[in-house]
Chain A
Amino acid sequence: MKHLLLAALIALAPLPAAAQEDRQEIVDDVVQNHVLPRFETLAAQAQNLAQTAQADCKADSPVLRAAYGDAFDAWVAASHLRLGPTEVDDRAFALAFWPDSRGVTPRVLAGLIEEEDPIAFSPEDYADVSIAARGFYALEFLLYDERISSLGASGYRCALVRTVSGDIANLSAAILRGWREGYAETMTHPAPDGAYRDTGEALKALFQTLTTGLEFTIDLRLGRPLGTFDHPRPKRAEAWRSGRSARHVMLSLATLGDLAGRLAADAPALHMELDAAVARAAGRLADLDDPIFAGVSDPESRIRIEALQQMVIDIREMVRKDLGPDLGVSAGFNALDGD
């Protein structure tokens, strides 16, 4: 979607926003109980993935694929938290380069394999490689893509699988370290000369991860395969090669639902409404029973996927129009702005 048309909607916010100490409690809770556990899980699962790849690097190895799936799940659950440590050294970009509308990932991987580029023998050096050949989406090609998973010499591909897995583990560990050794403190203790000048700025940043996360699911995870009625694009679905497209939407609903609930801690009625909306969307998704959104091409099932997308749009609207004003924050500019 090239033109994510931007408009500045002006809305009246109700006057009373959450009190200062309540806002601080919300920030503390989100950091301690939403953010940190997710990056702990990611670091642990990524470490397990790297170790598993050392033991068995074959693309069709069930243990390796299972470890890959667990680590990818952990990433998706944390993927909206694009703050601080994920943005240092392009870590989140390197973990998750998608969408890849120009097919750069298979091109760069094929180049490395055909040339047997020695950079693939060290996870540390590998940080210099194009982000398109790093992270979970590159590993998906190495494990599941028919052409890439059988291209060139198996020994080299094996090294590549191990190195990409090791790089994922390094990146995930560095993000967790960043949160533990400073960024959690930075967010929960705003200071006039800090990255967050007051609690409101920290809260706004967390609120923004929620709205951007919802937009990612609406516009990319669902919007890309939907395409237009005349041009549905099933092959643009996220991670269809490993059959994970719908799973990612489910994981994102769960993790964003958790975050929304914590942000709505002081608004019980809204909290319940959000929970119910997320549950409805999750139920609709489960009913589709279509792991890679192949149904976008068939008018009958397409309607049901469009309805799911609309339900997520409704959640986002509830977040913007009700939750934001309740907290006294609004979303700022985000990385999906632009084209």
Chain B
Amino acid sequence: MTRNFLLTTALAALSATPLMAVERAEVVDSYADIAAAKYEDSLIAARNLADKVDALIASPSAEALQHARAAWIEARVPYQQTEVYRFGNPIVDDWEGKVNAWPLDEGLIDYVDAAYGGASVENDLAALNVVANPHFTLSGQEIDASEITPELLSDTLHEADGIEANVATGYHAIEFLLWGQDLSGTQSGAGERPWTDYAKGDACTHDNCDRRGEYLAAAADLLVSDLEWMAAQWAEGGAARAAVTENPDAGIAMMLTGMGSLSYGEQAGERMRLGLMLNDPEEEHDCFSDNTHNSHYYDGLGVQNTYLGEYVRRDGTLISGPSLSDLVAETDPALDDEMRAKLAHTMFALARIKTAAEAGFAYDQMLARGDAGGEALIMGGVDALIDQTRTIERVVSTLGGDRIAFEGSDSLDNPGAVFQ
């Protein structure tokens, strides 16, 4: 309490701004409005996905599977743009593992290729195969999975045994159930799960089609309810909105933390550079569907639109409001230009990857050992993301002076300190 009081006083004294200036409170308000719109769009798209999944299970066909896959790809567009909220907002960060955990040991869920192997040193449950096993033992407990429900997935299976690779829920579990494993290595090609994996009676392939359908439906329903919860957090009166708007200085710190952490440690590092350095297609973010180029692109777009304070909704509506850009331009127009230029350059580099992938050069192929063209494309994105992080740090200094300290990767010591 004392700490916040001091902080508010100090910052108020510091930011004695001229009349007509953009208020920090307006900037965090528009941030929350845009977040609310993105999660609402994600929710609408997830409901559509759940409908298509139900249709696939009710009358399985190649066409129905294709519709469900298309709905999944569409659902990723708004969702990926919300990833910029993860690292700065504890409410989002604590929750996001339910919907977007990755990478996963998919053998937990369903059948896998023999080359996948069995249980590993790191994970006893890596090949559990819940679809095929209505009863199993988990951490010494007998589990009855004869009925596959959303609760079974979220309360028992997800992160079972305390292992993060046991991803039982969310986009990537659904992705695996729609596409199957991508067995083409660093060649072109996504997973090739046949629609008959959901067929009825004798037409069923790989056994347990009914249980597989039950799993898929449960995972899709769970995604919808998880997104309902998050959309409510950002609506008027929601806790996530309150966390950024109650103290606009803290809110701005959270905005910038999200932008920088996603750009650097997560996207440039974990998601892009690591896969390239390992030449490992399993490090692809949307590996089953080969949608990784889009996943990267919309992550980048989320960072850019957070700075610019504008977002185009899935129905085409443009939402915009007072932005970080406005705020920076008031004190340091050159820095605002620099930030805008770097964000635009990143989007250019990510669009190159997307364009090449859509023209037939799959992201897997870009990761192949010795593929100079693929390496240049991916490193173009990585370098741009790293470079924009440097400028985000300059924005932090400009908006906060020496008074806002952005802590690194951990608040284990006192996570609630800012938000009380």
| A336 & B405 in contact (Cβ 8 Å cutoff) | no
Q: Tell me the complex Cα distance, A4–B408, Å.
A: 9
| B411 & A339 in contact (Cβ 8 Å cutoff) | no
A212 partner, pick from B90, B122, B260, B408, beta carbons under 8 A: B408
CB contact under 8 A between A337 and B87, given known A2-B164, A9-B407: yes
A103 partner, pick from B87, B121, B393, beta carbons under 8 A: B121
CB contact under 8 A between A338 and B265, given known A5-B415, A6-B257: yes
- Asked if A66 is at the interface (CB within 8 A of a chain B CB), the reply is no
- Asked if A131 is at the interface (CB within 8 A of a chain B CB), the reply is yes
- Asked if B135 is at the interface (CB within 8 A of a chain A CB), the reply is no
| B405 & A330 in contact (Cβ 8 Å cutoff) | yes
> Would you give the shortest CB distance from A99 to chain B, in whole angstroms?
10
| B402 & A17 in contact (Cβ 8 Å cutoff) | yes
Residues of B within 8 A of A324 (CB): 405
Docked complex: B228-276 residues within 8 A CB-CB of A: 249-250, 253-254, 256-257, 260-267, 269-270, 273
Scoring A132, A227, A335 by chain B CB atoms within 10 A of each residue's CB, the highest score goes to A335
Residues of A within 8 A of B267 (CB): 338
| B122 & A101 in contact (Cβ 8 Å cutoff) | yes
Interface residue count for B (Cβ, 8 Å)? 65
> Would you give the shortest CB distance from B94 to chain A, in whole angstroms?
7
| B97 & A104 in contact (Cβ 8 Å cutoff) | no
- Asked if B377 is at the interface (CB within 8 A of a chain A CB), the reply is no
Q: Mark B170-189, 1 if CB is under 8 A from A, else 0.
A: 00000000000000000000
> Would you give the shortest CB distance from B362 to chain A, in whole angstroms?
19
9-residue interface stretch from B149-157, B198-206, B277-285, B300-308: B277-285
A90 partner, pick from B273, B396, B419, beta carbons under 8 A: B273
- Asked if B417 is at the interface (CB within 8 A of a chain A CB), the reply is yes
- Asked if A32 is at the interface (CB within 8 A of a chain B CB), the reply is no
| B162 & A228 in contact (Cβ 8 Å cutoff) | yes
Docked complex: B334-383 residues within 8 A CB-CB of A: 369-370
> Would you give the shortest CB distance from B104 to chain A, in whole angstroms?
11
| A335 & B265 in contact (Cβ 8 Å cutoff) | yes
- Asked if A298 is at the interface (CB within 8 A of a chain B CB), the reply is no
- Asked if B418 is at the interface (CB within 8 A of a chain A CB), the reply is yes
Residues of B within 8 A of A317 (CB): 413
CB contact under 8 A between A215 and B409, given known A3-B97, A130-B280, A131-B278: yes
- Asked if B35 is at the interface (CB within 8 A of a chain A CB), the reply is no
Q: Tell me the complex Cα distance, A86–B273, Å.
A: 15
Docked complex: A306-339 residues within 8 A CB-CB of B: 313, 317, 320, 324-325, 328, 330-339
Residues of A within 8 A of B410 (CB): 4-6, 215, 218-219
For A197, give the chain B residue with the smallest CB separation.
B394
On chain A, which size bracket covers the interface?
35 or more
CB contact under 8 A between A102 and B265, given known A5-B410, A228-B162: no
Docked complex: B386-420 residues within 8 A CB-CB of A: 389, 392-393, 396, 400, 402-415, 417-419
Scoring A94, A102, A108, A227 by chain B CB atoms within 10 A of each residue's CB, the highest score goes to A102
- Asked if A7 is at the interface (CB within 8 A of a chain B CB), the reply is yes
| B266 & A338 in contact (Cβ 8 Å cutoff) | yes
- Asked if B6 is at the interface (CB within 8 A of a chain A CB), the reply is yes
- Asked if B70 is at the interface (CB within 8 A of a chain A CB), the reply is no
Q: Tell me the complex Cα distance, A103–B392, Å.
A: 34
| B120 & A103 in contact (Cβ 8 Å cutoff) | yes
| A337 & B408 in contact (Cβ 8 Å cutoff) | yes
Residues of B within 8 A of A218 (CB): 410
| B87 & A338 in contact (Cβ 8 Å cutoff) | yes
Residues of B within 8 A of A204 (CB): 393
Question: Does more than half of chain B's interface fall in helix, strand or loop, or is it mixed?
Answer: helix
Q: Tell me the complex Cα distance, A296–B361, Å.
A: 47
Residues of B within 8 A of A215 (CB): 408-410
- Asked if B312 is at the interface (CB within 8 A of a chain A CB), the reply is no
- Asked if B192 is at the interface (CB within 8 A of a chain A CB), the reply is no
> Would you give the shortest CB distance from A41 to chain B, in whole angstroms?
25
| A231 & B162 in contact (Cβ 8 Å cutoff) | yes
B411 partner, pick from A9, A94, A227, A236, beta carbons under 8 A: A9
- Asked if A279 is at the interface (CB within 8 A of a chain B CB), the reply is no
- Asked if A269 is at the interface (CB within 8 A of a chain B CB), the reply is no
- Asked if A129 is at the interface (CB within 8 A of a chain B CB), the reply is yes
Q: Tell me the complex Cα distance, A11–B406, Å.
A: 9
| A8 & B250 in contact (Cβ 8 Å cutoff) | yes
Residues of A within 8 A of B44 (CB): none
- Asked if B88 is at the interface (CB within 8 A of a chain A CB), the reply is yes
- Asked if B329 is at the interface (CB within 8 A of a chain A CB), the reply is no
- Asked if B161 is at the interface (CB within 8 A of a chain A CB), the reply is yes
A13 partner, pick from B97, B103, B396, B402, beta carbons under 8 A: B402
Residues of B within 8 A of A2 (CB): 97, 101, 164
Residues of A within 8 A of B409 (CB): 4, 6, 215, 219, 334, 336-338
- Asked if B63 is at the interface (CB within 8 A of a chain A CB), the reply is no
- Asked if B22 is at the interface (CB within 8 A of a chain A CB), the reply is no
A11 partner, pick from B88, B264, B405, beta carbons under 8 A: B405
- Asked if A180 is at the interface (CB within 8 A of a chain B CB), the reply is no
| A13 & B265 in contact (Cβ 8 Å cutoff) | no
- Asked if B132 is at the interface (CB within 8 A of a chain A CB), the reply is no
Q: Tell me the complex Cα distance, A332–B265, Å.
A: 11
Q: Tell me the complex Cα distance, A320–B264, Å.
A: 21
- Asked if A153 is at the interface (CB within 8 A of a chain B CB), the reply is no
- Asked if A181 is at the interface (CB within 8 A of a chain B CB), the reply is no
Q: Tell me the complex Cα distance, A114–B303, Å.
A: 44
> Would you give the shortest CB distance from B66 to chain A, in whole angstroms?
31
| B260 & A103 in contact (Cβ 8 Å cutoff) | no
**Which residues of A are in contact with B by a Cβ distance under 8 Å?**
2-13, 17, 90, 93-94, 97, 101-104, 108, 128-132, 204, 211-212, 215, 218-219, 227-228, 230-231, 235-236, 313, 317, 320, 324-325, 328, 330-339
A-B contact pairs, 19 of them (CB 8 A): A3-B97, A7-B419, A8-B407, A8-B418, A17-B402, A103-B121, A128-B369, A132-B278, A215-B409, A325-B405, A330-B406, A331-B405, A334-B264, A334-B408, A334-B409, A335-B264, A335-B269, A337-B264, A337-B409
